[in-house]
Structure 1
Amino acid sequence: MEKCIVCLKDDHPTTLIKLRQKGCLGIIKASQERGDCLSALEDAKPENKRGRPALQEDGFYKIVDFLKHHDDEQISISDLVEKMDEMCDWNAYSQMYLKKRLKQHFGDEIIITDIPGRKSVVTLRETVTCILQDYYQRPSNLNPDDEKRALIRAAAKLIKSDIRSVDTTKSIYPTPANIASVDNNLSYLPESLLLFLSNIFSEKDPSVKIASIGQAVMQASRPRALITPLQLGLGVQVHHNFASRFLVSTLNSLGFCSSYYEVQKFESSAAAVQGVDLPGDISNSFVQFVADNVDHNTRTIDGLNTFHGMGIIAGITPGTKRTQPIPRIAFSTDEIKALAKIEIKYYKPQSDRMAELSYAELKNLNTLDKTFRLDLLSVIIWPLKYPIPMWSGFMQMVQTGDYPGKSSVSFLPMIDLNASDMTCIYSTLNFVANQAKRYDITAILTFDQPLYWKALSIVENENPGSTLKSMVLRLGPFHTEMSFLGSIGNLMSNTGLKEMLELIYAPNAVTHILSGKAVARAFRGHMLVDTALYCLLIADIFNIDVSKLLEEPNSTLETTEMKEIDELYSQLSSGELSASEAGESDVLKNLEATVQEKNRKF
């Protein structure tokens, strides 16, 4: 018996693999010459040793061969044991021992993912050494095109090997922070794939495209093992905005987003996890609840039985976000209903105290606000200085202060009752009161006018010790604004206002503006009319020719008072004067008195 020269001196990977497969890991009887040694290897057979029966060994090598040719990377250890049972007449290894043997046999070429409470998943990957060895062993007489194909195949194998090496888990979904962060999405890609894509794109900053296409490649390479952040995010966003299964499925078939099934599973998991909780830490935020009727035209044959209910949201300022990850769990519709359910409390009137209500006199807020004259400055400056921002832009330019941050909206469960029903409103009030008590905040609830009046009557008729007594009810300002704009249209009918607005908007739009329905257009239109009237008024006071204003914007500053107003505006715009200082300036007070006197003459 002599030591095998191949085992001791030749580190050829292919030969070593053959040695392992033949069971020759130590000493074999062979010639010192390489050719004789290799031929002896072909005839060598593994020796029968004590321990596991030979039938199990044969079954193990069949499992090894099955793994090499099995393309399903999600096969588990338990699946392999069942497969080995079939091959060995139900005499397979245990899961623990099979896992040990697989690690010994494949070494770095196998990845076994152990997740507590779940099956161990087996994934084979080719090592860099094997891939490069196969590439360098290619025939040397290849033409340039074949050389290029061989190089591309080797690069693809290297990238796929790195993709298979990525640690993954499908037990939780990617967090919103990971989906929104470009850096996190780039770090999700293996280094080889990131390098490959970075050398393809020629844009100045292709980071988002690299992350998107890279994750699409990873998802296509491991469809049953990965849930890539951008793929999931796009699927959820498309479904939220368009509610189209066809669109989500089409994008999924093209490899751009997750499947429709996965999107629905995410939404049900997110709904179940949230329940009636408010997201994040709201201890330093202002929370206001808003409730209003919600209607959904359910498709029915006769057009009846449509959905009319009460929808509730919570506005949080500054906004908060949910930080805890969403587990990937299958929830049924009944389970979600049970998790997010509002208790229905039947309302029984106890008394009628609404007849005793008295309305307090509104205070004049002008004495408290030192900046109210800035409204006048924003319109009288137009004929003196052109062009300048409109009222909204002017106020954003001159007002300063701490910005609390963008608000966030959290959707709460709906009540499947008619929103105007007293029982529905009473249940809403109790739900909001309990939520406020739970988070130790003041219960502030906003209704529109019809629901506000009914909610107010419920609160006023409650007993003094009721939790609803401490609730702050607010009338939604939108309907008040609509009513105010509609009153302007009614009072100013047949005065030429309609014809003036038709110079800006279409006639049909003006009809909605004057009725108060088109709020945004009405606000802008009335502000333009107000500015134009003040321009004519100031032009009359200072004898300014408005027709020459566009040709010579700064040619009107002739009197001392006009120059002082222009200087006041410049100092306010540059920050030399604060809003309160500008509002209390003598020149603005004098001009206010002049304008009021002129208005009385008209």
Structure 2
Amino acid sequence: MSCPWPPTSENVNVSEAQTVVSLALYNVVSWIIGATEEPTLDYYVNIADDLHLKVVSLCQDIVYLASKGRKQTPKSLTLGLTVRHLTGSTRIVSLLNRLGHCASWDTVLSLDTSLAQLTLVERDKIPKGFSKRAPTTLVWDNIDYGEETLSGRGTTHHTNGIMLQSLAIEPMSTAIRQPLRKRVSSFKAPPQMPIEPYHQSKRQGLQNLNQPLQAATCRMDTHFAAQAELAYVFVKSTFTDRCAIPSWTGFHTLLQCENALQKSALYYLPVIEASPTEMSTVNTILKRSVQIADQLELDHIVLVFDQAIYAKAQQIRWKNDGFMQRLVIRLGEFHTCMSYLSILGKRFGAAGLQDILIESEVVAPGSINGVINGHHLQSQHESS
């Protein structure tokens, strides 16, 4: 492999894996298994896609065995790293290595360590696939490992963030990164970034609520959506063959052009080693989000939280003019639906909605409170 160490996901896909397989080897293996009878050594023969993956995998094993493990292939590295993450077993990785399918345990451990070092080196840079001055969304939530202890204490409660961009407007320059040193199985973790204590004072609500709204602009933006929804309801209710009409999602997908949905760029942010239920952690999240916005040269950046973190984030944001100008905080779609269903339950629960759901056997009597409160998600899905 010609890429610098350590190889990343861009260097171990199928197209890159074929570059380590010579044309003659690929064609000979394809002839041996009967995938093709095309007699040529001028180009890679054409075979079925499912056979292509298997032939490339087999050819990588041959390259790895012929070099006695000195030439690493994408398969030998990724298979060993995957098995290590899934099982953590030295014996399984060593067994696959003896059969010639993956790299040795020491090589896999060195690769895992080098990838961690690469993450630390490039964590302050704009990730590849992202661009400046492009609309960006940050999603923050808790990340728990679910350990079980006798007292219930001592479990892991950290905070994880994800950065999203729908489409890169200005492609970033792809500078050649410097390779890291191989055969390194351990390294010293960097010091934890301090979390500044946040002392909560008297609660303060949102100020300046009397600002005029641009109703005409809102009507203009929602005019097409209202017409499309009305057309869907009309067609669905009057068309005799309902199977020919797509579902709600399929209907709106057909209204979009073919290239309307772009693949989003995704990047995992460094983990904050603190629980997001603490006000100090939430304050740290907001500060780091502003730093990311500055790095991307954005005036505003969108933050998405669940209900618990959303309430704390708004309390801090309403007291800070800098946060008010730079951060747009909203609930995720899932928690927005939960809040909406909870509103319906509070409004119509005592007006007969509970009796209707129970008598129609849509919801069991023991689950009706969860449905009315907007937290029993399975029953909500069945009732809808």
TM over 0.5, shorter chain: yes
Are the aligned partners of 2:205 and 2:318 in contact in 1 as well (CA < 8 Å)?
A: no
Are the aligned partners of 1:343 and 1:431 in contact in 2 as well (CA < 8 Å)?
A: no
**Per-residue displacement from partner, 1:385-425 (whole Å, max 9, x unpaired)?**
31221111111112348525111321112222222212111
Corresponding residue to 1:451 among 279, 301, 309: 309
Corresponding letter in the other structure for 1:179: V
Q: Paired residue for 2:127?
A: 279
Where do 5+ consecutive residues of structure 1 fail to align? 1-167, 527-602
Corresponding residue to 1:222 among 63, 67, 70: 67
Q: Paired residue for 1:172?
A: 5
Q: Paired residue for 1:315?
A: 164
Once the two structures are aligned, what percentage of the paired residues are identical? 24
Q: Paired residue for 1:545?
A: none
Distance in structure 1 (CA, Å) of the matches to 2:32 and 2:206: 77
SS at match of 1:372: helix
Corresponding letter in the other structure for 1:354: Q
**Per-residue displacement from partner, 1:296-344 (whole Å, max 9, x unpaired)?**
2336565531111222221222279996666454263523x34xx5342
Residue 195 of structure 1 pairs with residue 27 of structure 2? yes
Residue 185 of structure 1 pairs with residue 35 of structure 2? no
Distance in structure 1 (CA, Å) of the matches to 2:337 and 2:58: 48
SS at match of 1:451: helix
Distance in structure 2 (CA, Å) of the matches to 1:509 and 1:394: 33
Residue 384 of structure 1 pairs with residue 239 of structure 2? yes
Offset of 1:194 from its aligned partner? Answer: 2.0
* Bigger relative CO (Cα 8 Å, ≥ 6 apart): 2
SS at match of 1:256: coil
Distance in structure 1 (CA, Å) of the matches to 2:136 and 2:73: 34
SS at match of 2:34: coil
Corresponding letter in the other structure for 2:127: P
Corresponding letter in the other structure for 2:291: N
Distance in structure 1 (CA, Å) of the matches to 2:368 and 2:32: 54
Offset of 1:501 from its aligned partner? Answer: 5.0
- Structure 2 length-normalised TM: 0.74
Distance in structure 2 (CA, Å) of the matches to 1:406 and 1:262: 33
Distance in structure 1 (CA, Å) of the matches to 2:33 and 2:140: 49
SS at match of 1:413: coil
Offset of 1:444 from its aligned partner? Answer: 2.6
Corresponding letter in the other structure for 1:176: S
Corresponding residue to 1:480 among 326, 336, 339: 336
Q: Which has the larger displacement, 277-286 or 305-314?
A: 277-286
Superposed CA RMSD in Å reads 3.9
Offset of 1:197 from its aligned partner? Answer: 0.8
Are the aligned partners of 2:69 and 2:103 in contact in 1 as well (CA < 8 Å)?
A: no
Residue 270 of structure 1 pairs with residue 120 of structure 2? no
SS at match of 1:436: helix
CA radius of gyration, larger in: 1
Residue 419 of structure 1 pairs with residue 276 of structure 2? yes
Offset of 1:219 from its aligned partner? Answer: 1.7
Offset of 1:213 from its aligned partner? Answer: 0.8
Q: Paired residue for 1:332?
A: 186
Distance in structure 2 (CA, Å) of the matches to 1:366 and 1:508: 43
Q: Which has the larger displacement, 422-431 or 474-483?
A: 474-483
Q: Paired residue for 1:354?
A: 204
Are the aligned partners of 1:456 and 1:473 in contact in 2 as well (CA < 8 Å)?
A: yes
Distance in structure 2 (CA, Å) of the matches to 1:397 and 1:169: 44
Offset of 1:355 from its aligned partner? Answer: 4.3
Q: 1:301 to 1:237 in 2, by over 3 A?
A: same
Q: Paired residue for 2:76?
A: 231
Distance in structure 2 (CA, Å) of the matches to 1:314 and 1:423: 21
Q: 1:233 to 1:451 in 2, by over 3 A?
A: same
Q: Paired residue for 2:286?
A: 429
Are the aligned partners of 2:106 and 2:185 in contact in 1 as well (CA < 8 Å)?
A: no
Distance in structure 2 (CA, Å) of the matches to 1:299 and 1:264: 28
Q: Paired residue for 2:43?
A: none
Are the aligned partners of 2:142 and 2:159 in contact in 1 as well (CA < 8 Å)?
A: yes
Are the aligned partners of 1:245 and 1:260 in contact in 2 as well (CA < 8 Å)?
A: no
Are the aligned partners of 1:170 and 1:227 in contact in 2 as well (CA < 8 Å)?
A: no
Are the aligned partners of 1:272 and 1:331 in contact in 2 as well (CA < 8 Å)?
A: no
Residue 494 of structure 1 pairs with residue 355 of structure 2? yes
Corresponding letter in the other structure for 2:17: N
SS at match of 1:310: strand
Are the aligned partners of 2:358 and 2:365 in contact in 1 as well (CA < 8 Å)?
A: no
Q: How many residues align?
A: 348
Are the aligned partners of 1:178 and 1:229 in contact in 2 as well (CA < 8 Å)?
A: yes
Distance in structure 2 (CA, Å) of the matches to 1:507 and 1:178: 55
Where do 5+ consecutive residues of structure 2 fail to align? 36-46
Q: Paired residue for 1:375?
A: 229
Q: Paired residue for 1:399?
A: 256
Are the aligned partners of 1:342 and 1:413 in contact in 2 as well (CA < 8 Å)?
A: no
Distance in structure 1 (CA, Å) of the matches to 2:17 and 2:366: 49
SS at match of 2:154: coil
SS at match of 1:494: helix
More helix by share: 1
- Structure 1 length-normalised TM: 0.50
Q: Paired residue for 2:193?
A: 342
Distance in structure 2 (CA, Å) of the matches to 1:515 and 1:498: 19
SS at match of 1:304: coil
Q: Paired residue for 2:40?
A: none
Are the aligned partners of 2:164 and 2:265 in contact in 1 as well (CA < 8 Å)?
A: yes
Are the aligned partners of 1:378 and 1:390 in contact in 2 as well (CA < 8 Å)?
A: no
Are the aligned partners of 1:296 and 1:307 in contact in 2 as well (CA < 8 Å)?
A: yes
Distance in structure 2 (CA, Å) of the matches to 1:449 and 1:282: 30
1:509-588 mapped onto 2 (5 Å cutoff): 516-517=374-375, 522=380, 526=384
Q: 1:175 to 1:311 in 2, by over 3 A?
A: closer
Corresponding letter in the other structure for 1:369: H
Distance in structure 2 (CA, Å) of the matches to 1:428 and 1:292: 10
Distance in structure 2 (CA, Å) of the matches to 1:467 and 1:394: 39
Corresponding letter in the other structure for 2:102: C
